[in-house]
Amino acid sequence: MTLWVVGVNHRTAPIEVRERFFLSGEQRRAALEALMDEPGVREAVILSTCNRTEVYLNASPSESPGDAGARVLSTRSGQDPAEAEGYLYRKREREAVMHLFRVASGLDSMVLGEAEIQGQVSDAYRTGREEVPESVGKILHRLFQRALSAGSRVRTETALGEGAASVPSAAVHLAEKVFGSLEGRRTMVVGAGDMGALTVRCLADAGTESPWVTSRTLETARDVADDVGGRPVAYDRFWEHLDEVEILVTCTAADGVVIDADRLSRAVRGSSDPLVILDIAVPRDVEADAADIDDVFLYNVDDLQRVMESTEEARRREMPRAEDVVAEEVGEFWDWYRSREAVPLIRAFRSRAEEIRRGEIEDLLEEMDGLGEEEREKIRSATRVVVNRLLHSPTVGLREMATEGEGTERLDIARRLLGLDDEDLEEWIQRESDE
């Protein structure tokens, strides 16, 4: 088996490209099902956020799982595969493991140390298990559990997450750069999911006036608004209040534009105050032309990186400690993962030895008249002990070999020396994936 990650993120593509790769709930499920139909793919998890869309795979090394992941992503983006390839990165085996652990720990985020990513990684893993159960087996289950453990350790053992370590908190800091103090500023949040709820909390903590909160489900908006003494508003009526707002944050899960420039222009026409819009959704909620409206200042998630660089210095000082934690967690997972490579070989080896022992001893016993069943069983037991003792040292050696450098190549040599071919191992490999 081989571990892969294929993806696109804020380092390889701007937001107008990333939003084309973004996979919503139903799209993610369809993509997972498509991946599981690809030859050699045994397990798959898809992580899709405002800053990245990534496919994690456990697949047969004889196939091209990286190509399978790239095909799914390029199909979603609507781009020619060659064009999409220019934005994608591919990592395999230990490099792929390290990548996921760094992602879950906030070390690969646009806002260093952001808190949301751990929950997003957990959601991707859990959603895959629930919606396409066959997509998450023993390997990816262990991989994602250890990645989440690494993320938790980084947040509890280091100060990486202190300060503005989330996209919503970064958005609030940006607003503070525009206005200075946000005390008493009139605000609205469009979208009441996890990101919206955190944004509302960040705005309230900054001292803004009770924020308007809207969502496609009024009850959801009311729950989020009530948490901070905000004001819920029906989704089809939030336009009526835009001329009362100074800061508008959008963070819906819509597949396309929610606020078009023409309607926004009409909605704010009577306002005497400028409007700062922080569009932290991917795909973007606000039409780009909205930036051309007088007294409207539009920022998106890519703008956050530029304005937050100066606030990251303290968190960057924590990176060596965080990287040490991640390296330790990766090492523990990798030892477990590599030792499993030896298991199918060991089982096939021992199965072959037992098959030979049984065949030879039963042929011999057939020729030995006059033995009772008790004597026969003693002979069988003695030969099993001899075989197990002979196999003990090679078994230990194969396990140790798997965790050493070049372990896969060494196991391949051992397989040939033991006279086992790929067909001998396939049944045991399948059993290991299913357990």
Q: Which residues pair with 47 in a beta bridge?
A: 54
Judge whether 46 and 54 are in contact, CB under 8 Å.
yes
Judge whether 296 and 264 are in contact, CB under 8 Å.
yes
Burial class (CB in 10 A: 0-12, 13-18, 19+), 198: buried
Which of 118, 156, 122, 115 lies closest to 141 in space, CA to CA? 122
Angle at 307 between CA 87 and CA 289, to 5 degrees: 65
**CA dist., res. 349 & res. 236, Å (int):** 67
**CA dist., res. 232 & res. 251, Å (int):** 16
Burial class (CB in 10 A: 0-12, 13-18, 19+), 423: exposed
Which residue in 50, 132, 154, 251 is the catalytic one?
A: 50
- Helix, strand, coil tally for the chain in percent (to 5): 60, 15, 25
Chain centroid offset of residue 232 CA? 32
What are the φ and ψ backbone dihedral angles of 39, each rounded to 5 degrees?
A: -60, 130
Judge whether 38 and 124 are in contact, CB under 8 Å.
no
**CA dist., res. 52 & res. 144, Å (int):** 17
**Sign of the CA dihedral with 320 first, then 321, 322, and 323 last:** positive
Burial class (CB in 10 A: 0-12, 13-18, 19+), 381: exposed
Residue with tokens 């196991």: 411
Q: Is 202 a catalytic residue?
A: no
For the chain, report the end-to-end CA distance as a whole number of angstroms. Answer: 14
- Residues labelled as active-site residues: 50
